[in-house]
């Protein structure tokens, strides 16, 4: 909600002084089928990355020769999604300020705290010990970093390809 209310590209006085800035709304530059499908592609590519990396990382053996359990793997994937969404929010923000950075950090921290509370304090049967298994495994940190880097690079590649297509259309 903070970003929806307080993240804006221009302040009120700039809009009043430069009414041409309203053209993007009139020309439907921020909404429409093309923008929808572009965002759909971003989401589909990133979902494929998360799906494939999570399947591949599920078969990584721990030091004791066992694989991570389904609940641990699911918690790692969910953590990756939380981090990726917050990374995307940070990249799309026009006004990066202290409050925004604190909220993004808290959003990620709250996920890990909720897993800790559910698995260690509340001792929910299916989640019991998930947090400690997840945080002890060095592959967790590698997989989370890999998710973040790969989704970031995929978004930049799609954005670059989209700009190349647009500039190619303008030349012809």
Residue 6 belongs to some domain of the structure: no
Angle (deg, nearest 10), helices 70-92 and 33-58: 150
Residue 100 has which token pair? 């925004």
Q: Is there a domain that residue 28 lies in?
A: no
Residues for the chain: how many in total? 172
Q: What is the Cα–Cα distance from 37 to 46, expressed in whole angstroms? A: 14
Whether residue 11 is contained in a domain is answered as: no
**Does residue 1 lie within any of the structural domains?**
no
* Averaged pLDDT for residues 115-129: 82
- Within a domain: residue 18? no
For residues 11 and 107, the model is more confident at: 107
> How far is Cα 27 from Cα 91, in angstroms, rounded to an integer?
24
In a domain, 27, yes or no: no
Q: What is the mean pLDDT of the chain?
A: 79
pTM of the model: 0.72
Q: Classify burial at 32, counting beta carbons within 10 Å of its beta carbon; exposed 0-12, middle 13-18, buried 19 or more.
A: exposed
Total of domains in the chain: 1
Question: Over the range 3-25, which residues count as b (16 or more CB within 10 Å of their CB) and which as e?
Answer: beeeeeeeeeeeeeeeeeeeeee
Do the domain assignments include residue 21? Answer: no
15 domain-assigned: no
- Rounded to an integer, what distance in angstroms lies between the CA atom of residue 56 and that of residue 50? 10
Strand partners, 61: 67
Q: How far is CA 156 from the centre of its chain?
A: 13
Q: With 90 as the cut, is the pLDDT of residue 106 above it?
A: yes
Residue range of the domain that includes 67: 40-171
């Amino acid at each position: 909600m903070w970003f929806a209310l307080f993240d804006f590209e221009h302040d009120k006085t700039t809009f009043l002084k430069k009414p041409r800035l309203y053209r993007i709304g009139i020309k439907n530059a921020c909404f429409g089928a093309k923008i929808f499908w572009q965002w759909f592609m971003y989401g589909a590519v990133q979902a494929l990355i998360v799906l494939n990396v999570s399947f591949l990382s599920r078969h990584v053996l721990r030091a004791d020769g066992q694989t991570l359990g389904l609940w641990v793997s699911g918690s790692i994937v969910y953590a990756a999604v939380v981090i990726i969404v917050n990374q995307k929010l940070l990249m799309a923000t026009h006004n990066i300020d202290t409050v925004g950075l604190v909220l993004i950090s808290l959003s990620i921290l709250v996920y890990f705290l909720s897993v800790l509370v559910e698995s260690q304090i509340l001792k929910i049967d299916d989640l019991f010990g998930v947090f400690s298994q997840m945080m002890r495994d060095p592959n967790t940190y590698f997989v989370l970093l890999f998710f973040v880097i790969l989704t970031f690079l995929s978004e930049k590649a799609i954005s670059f390809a989209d700009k190349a297509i647009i500039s190619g259309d303008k030349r012809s």
